[in-house]
């Protein structure tokens, strides 16, 4: 049986359930503590890049603690679910729920699944804890706000916006624990080019913070032929030509009338990260 210290409902009502910051626990120790004290875990994944947004290090830690993982495949409105099922072995991710904050997909199903899994645990204390993990900027806070109704979790377009642990009341019996975004220790986008590219694709680093954005655009063009060209209606396989033509179209000019290719490349990455250019990164290596 779980041994987490219990507390009474009266004590719970006297606390601040909707939004409490714990600044004393250092990250990533905070995340490890959340995994330790949570009864179940929600792992938030990007539907466009499921395997790339799984944190296998944390999954192993969660499993070693004997905790249940429910995988939430977020941003499901940006992909074809039927096509995704052909590309990805979803059975290995069970239990999972497709979710979209913008299109209101999966909300009722996820709420029900959380309650069912908690009921199965037969906890000896009155308040169950649901830890929520995922890469930075994966949409955890927006998902929480969608589930609980109202703006309980702070959101931002900036990656890594959530700095501390947030405790948010889901129901009278369930508390959400929103953690800072976690990047696996094995990934270092400041050193490894492959990690830098991955973090740009899955929005760990937002378009305005990425180094050498033209290299990222070139890599995406190679792995996903014609996706970017079709979106901007520019026929070329040369990244330099594409950036020059698009920059000229958008009037992205520096002093002397020189095309600002850096700004142009960041525009492309911005529209990919926002889903305006729909690319499924799980089909590429």
What total of structural domains would you count in the chain? 2
60/173 same-domain check: yes
Residue 253: inside a domain = yes
In this prediction the pTM is 0.66
168/200 same-domain check: no
27/157 same-domain check: yes
31/149 same-domain check: yes
For 12, 183, 239, the CA distances from 68, given in Å and listed in that order, are 24, 21, 45
21/72 same-domain check: yes
Residue 72: inside a domain = yes
Ordered per-residue pLDDT tens for the chain, 285 residues: 445 544 444 444 444 433 334 434 344 677 788 888 899 999 999 998 898 889 888 898 899 999 999 999 999 998 889 988 888 889 889 999 999 988 989 999 999 999 999 999 999 999 999 999 888 878 888 899 999 987 665 443 444 444 556 789 999 999 999 877 765 555 544 545 555 555 555 555 667 777 788 888 988 898 889 999 999 999 999 999 999 999 999 999 998 889 999 999 999 988 888 888 887 766 444
Last residue of a domain, one of 124, 154, 178: 178
What residues make up the domain containing 258? 193-283
Residues 103, 107: Cα–Cα separation, whole Å: 10
Residue 115: how many CA atoms within 13 Å on its side-chain side? Answer: 11
At residue 204, the pLDDT reads 58
173/201 same-domain check: no
172-176, Cβ contacts within 8 angstroms, sequence gap of 24 or more: 173/118, 173/126, 173/127, 173/128, 174/114, 174/115, 174/118, 174/127, 174/128, 174/129, 174/130, 175/17, 175/127, 175/128, 175/129, 175/130, 176/130, 176/132, 176/144, 176/147, 176/148
174/201 same-domain check: no
At residue 152, the pLDDT reads 60
At residue 20, the pLDDT reads 39
148/279 same-domain check: no
Residue 185: inside a domain = no
At residue 23, the pLDDT reads 38
Residue 170: inside a domain = yes
21/161 same-domain check: yes
At residue 11, the pLDDT reads 45
207/156 same-domain check: no
Residues 193, 191: Cα–Cα separation, whole Å: 6
Residue 42: inside a domain = yes
Q: What is the pLDDT of residues 43-68, one digit of tens each?
A: 999 998 898 889 888 898 899 999 99
174/275 same-domain check: no
158/215 same-domain check: no
Domain with residue 231: its CATH number is 1.10.1580.10
At residue 160, the pLDDT reads 42
At residue 52, the pLDDT reads 84
């Amino acid at each position: 049986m779980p041994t987490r210290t219990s507390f009474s409902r009266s004590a719970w009502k006297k606390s601040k359930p909707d939004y409490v910051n714990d600044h004393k626990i250092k990250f990533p120790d905070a995340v490890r503590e959340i995994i330790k004290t949570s009864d179940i875990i929600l792992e938030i994944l990007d539907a466009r890049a499921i395997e790339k947004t799984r944190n296998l290090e944390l999954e192993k830690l969660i499993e070693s603690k004997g905790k249940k993982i429910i995988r939430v495949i977020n941003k499901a409105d940006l992909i074809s679910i039927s096509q995704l099922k052909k590309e990805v072995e979803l059975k290995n991710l069970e239990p999972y729920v497709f979710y979209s904050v913008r299109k209101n997909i999966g909300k009722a199903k996820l709420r029900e699944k959380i309650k069912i899994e908690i009921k199965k645990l037969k906890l000896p204390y009155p308040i169950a804890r649901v830890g929520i993990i995922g890469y930075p900027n994966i949409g955890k806070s927006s998902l929480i706000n969608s589930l609980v109704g109202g703006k309980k979790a702070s959101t931002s377009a900036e990656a890594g916006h959530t700095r501390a642990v947030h405790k948010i009341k889901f129901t009278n019996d369930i508390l959400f624990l929103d953690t800072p975004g976690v990047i696996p220790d094995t990934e270092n986008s400041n050193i490894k080019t492959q990690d830098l590219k991955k973090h740009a694709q899955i929005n760990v680093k937002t378009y305005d913070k990425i180094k050498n954005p033209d290299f990222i655009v070139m890599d995406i063009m190679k792995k996903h032929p014609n996706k970017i060209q079709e979106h901007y209606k520019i026929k070329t396989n040369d990244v330099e030509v594409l950036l020059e033509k698009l920059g000229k179209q958008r009037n992205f000019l520096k002093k002397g009338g020189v095309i600002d290719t850096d700004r142009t490349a960041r525009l492309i990455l911005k529209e990919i990260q926002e889903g305006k250019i729909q690319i499924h990164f799980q089909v590429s290596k």
